[in-house]
């Protein structure tokens, strides 16, 4: 059949149109990254520190869909690191130290994003915080607990039942 007139393809694209779809590329890249973290967990430990820093920096993503994927990728990183905690020789050292250094920035970014985030972002933040609590409980300094508790308390008064439930379960994990 006919594929259409080639003149249709000669129309220059507006630069703004490309920007409008760039979030799709970022979201897809983050999904690939999340799949890499989950499937290649034996190979990610050497890159985990840089990956964690990059993901933490991207919490400020301007597009909601891409921001949720950033949070999911960070959650996958913590989940995989939790799986390796049973083998202390693999995670002791550089990665643990990098996490300890980055935890304040992670919690602060979560708190900032909580305040301005929409419901999907807040739900992704709660999943991330719960995974952080489960996988890094021994590394969470007492000075970070107030910020984590504040996020959970803010969410406990949410009008969304799922957010309230997730906030209460996060508080329960801290006990």
How far, rounded to the nearest angstrom, does the alpha carbon of residue 103 sit from its chain's CA centroid?
Answer: 13
pLDDT at residue 122 in the model: 92
pLDDT tens string 14-67: 445 455 788 899 999 999 989 888 887 666 666 777 888 889 889 888 899 999
Distance of alpha carbon 152 from alpha carbon 164, whole angstroms? 8
Q: Do the beta carbons of residue 96 and residue 138 sit within 8 Å?
A: no
Which residue shows structure tokens 């999943």? 127
Q: Do the beta carbons of residue 79 and residue 72 sit within 8 Å?
A: no
Phi, psi of 118, deg, nearest 5: -85, 180
Query: 76 in helix, strand or coil?
Result: helix
pTM: 0.77
pLDDT tens string 62-121: 899 999 999 999 998 888 776 665 555 444 556 667 777 888 888 889 999 998 889 999
């Amino acid at each position: 059949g006919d594929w259409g007139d080639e003149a249709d393809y000669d129309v220059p694209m507006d630069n703004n149109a490309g920007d409008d779809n760039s979030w799709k590329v970022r979201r897809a890249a983050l999904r690939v990254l999340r799949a890499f973290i989950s499937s290649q967990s034996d190979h990610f430990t050497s890159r985990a520190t840089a990956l964690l820093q990059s993901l933490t920096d991207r919490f400020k993503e301007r597009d909601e869909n891409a921001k949720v994927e950033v949070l999911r990728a960070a959650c996958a990183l913590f989940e995989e690191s939790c799986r390796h905690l049973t083998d202390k020789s693999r995670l002791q050292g550089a990665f643990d130290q990098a996490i300890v250094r980055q935890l304040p920035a992670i919690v602060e970014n979560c708190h900032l994003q909580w305040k301005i985030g929409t419901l999907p972002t807040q739900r992704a933040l709660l999943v991330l915080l719960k995974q952080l609590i489960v996988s890094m409980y021994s590394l969470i300094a007492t000075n970070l607990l107030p910020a984590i508790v504040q996020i959970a308390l803010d969410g406990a008064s949410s009008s969304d039942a799922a957010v309230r439930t997730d906030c209460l379960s996060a508080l329960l994990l801290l006990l």
